[in-house]
Amino acid sequence: MTVRTERDGPVWTVIHSRPEARNAMDPQSAEALNAAFLAFERDDTARVAVFFGEGGAFCAGWDLKHAAALQGAEPEGQALSDLDFQADGPAPGPGDDIPRGPMGPSRLELDKPVIGALAGPAVAGGMELAMWCDFRVMERSAYMGVYCRRWGIPLIDGGTVRLPRLVGQGRALELIMTGRQVMAEECSRIGLCEYVVDDGAARAKAEDLAHQIARFPQGCMRADRRSAIAHQGMSIREGLAGEWRNSIGQMSAEGLAGAGRFSSGKGRGGDFDDI
């Protein structure tokens, strides 16, 4: 079994473990990861997930040894027409109505947060999986890069869509076209990761952050997360209208209850512990 989930209350850590291949992705692992994150999305007790590659590598991309055996075959055994899916309007669900991405969960649009915990390489398709996460914790020796540039393999798991949104078009194009290595400190500077920690500490830091997020009222947190993702590229007015429609229900539910707790004396002075 190359994928397993470890649960600590509301925090689920989804672990990819093919250390002999630096967690390069094969079809079985891709299917198992997709299923694991859909199970997380559907479980009412689960609040935040951590995505971790075991054995010192997040993911070295698609397994090229497997890919070499596909010459003459359709990618993933699917005809291109099978990969068409409706892109207009809001997604009807988390993405289980369309073919999964070659790297697994890269086409899922979950309503719960996922934190990436990155050690070693997160390159090519592994970089695309890292960018699929809400945000990333990288160890100091970890790195990203469009390493598939060398082999004529394009980004097909969201890399060309998500990278410009994270770092801007010019920087994204430079990284995409050169395929160069991007170490953790540079990732932090340009917006590819949010935390840099000592080697061996990424998972623990990501899980600590996950538990912090899991403590908050979840309806409000998910509404704000959903709004921040959904309204990219809109005009200010369109975004404001969408934000109002998306979030107003939480004001009358969790918001009023939270105001009552504050009135009773909790959370004063910016205290995030006693809430």
pLDDT digits (tens, 9 = 90+) for 79-97: 444 455 555 555 557 888 8
pLDDT: which is higher, 208 or 90: 208
Q: 188, 214, 240 — which closes off a domain?
A: 214
> What's the confidence (pLDDT) of residue 94?
86
Domain ranges, residue 86: 3-214
Residues 145 and 251 reside in one and the same domain: no
The β-bridge relationship of strands 11-16 and 3-8 is antiparallel
- Single out the residue of 108, 127, 104, 100 nearest to residue 116, CA to CA: 127
Residues 209 and 98 reside in one and the same domain: yes
pLDDT digits (tens, 9 = 90+) for 143-182: 999 999 999 999 999 999 999 999 999 999 999 999 999 9
Where residue 239 falls among pLDDT bands split at 50, 70, 90?
confident
Residues 7 and 128 reside in one and the same domain: yes
Q: What is the CATH number of the domain that holds 246?
A: 1.10.287
Give residue for tokens 């830091």. Answer: 205
> What's the confidence (pLDDT) of residue 82?
46
Express as a percent the part of the chain with pLDDT over 90. 70
Residues 232 and 186 reside in one and the same domain: no
Residues 72 and 151 reside in one and the same domain: yes
Give residue for tokens 């009552």. Answer: 260
Residues 93 and 164 reside in one and the same domain: yes
Express as a percent the part of the chain with pLDDT over 70. 84
Q: What is the CATH number of the domain that holds 141?
A: 3.90.226.10
pLDDT digits (tens, 9 = 90+) for 12-47: 999 999 999 999 999 999 999 999 999 999 999 999
Integer angstrom CA distances of residue 87 from 34, 92, 187: 20, 10, 30
pLDDT digits (tens, 9 = 90+) for 109-122: 999 999 999 999 99
> What's the confidence (pLDDT) of residue 275?
73
Q: What is the CA radius of gyration of the chain?
A: 19
The pTM (predicted TM-score) of the whole model is 0.88
pLDDT at 233 over 70: yes
pLDDT at 56 over 80: yes
φ/ψ of residue 98, rounded to 5: -125, 160
Q: Number of helices (H) and strands (E), helices first, in the chain?
A: 10, 9
pLDDT at 78 over 50: no
- Single out the residue of 127, 103, 106, 130 nearest to residue 116, CA to CA: 130
Residues 249 and 185 reside in one and the same domain: no
Residues 113 and 207 reside in one and the same domain: yes
| Domain presence at residue 126 | yes
Residues with Cβ < 8 Å from 14, sequence gap 6 or more?
Answer: 3, 4, 5, 33, 36, 37, 40, 49, 50, 51, 52
Number of structural domains, the chain? 2
| Domain presence at residue 188 | yes
pLDDT at 214 over 70: yes
Residues 234 and 210 reside in one and the same domain: no
pLDDT at 264 over 50: yes
Residues 120 and 256 reside in one and the same domain: no
| Domain presence at residue 275 | no
| Domain presence at residue 43 | yes
Residues 48 and 145 reside in one and the same domain: yes
| Domain presence at residue 81 | yes
Determine the longest span between alpha carbons in the chain, in angstroms: 68
- What is the DSSP code string of 41-96? HH-TT--EEEEEETTS-SB--B-HHHHHTTTTSPGGG--GGGG----SSS-SSSST
| Domain presence at residue 77 | yes
Residues 122 and 188 reside in one and the same domain: yes
Q: Indicate the burial class of 68 (C-beta count within 10 angstroms; 0-12, 13-18, 19 or more).
A: exposed
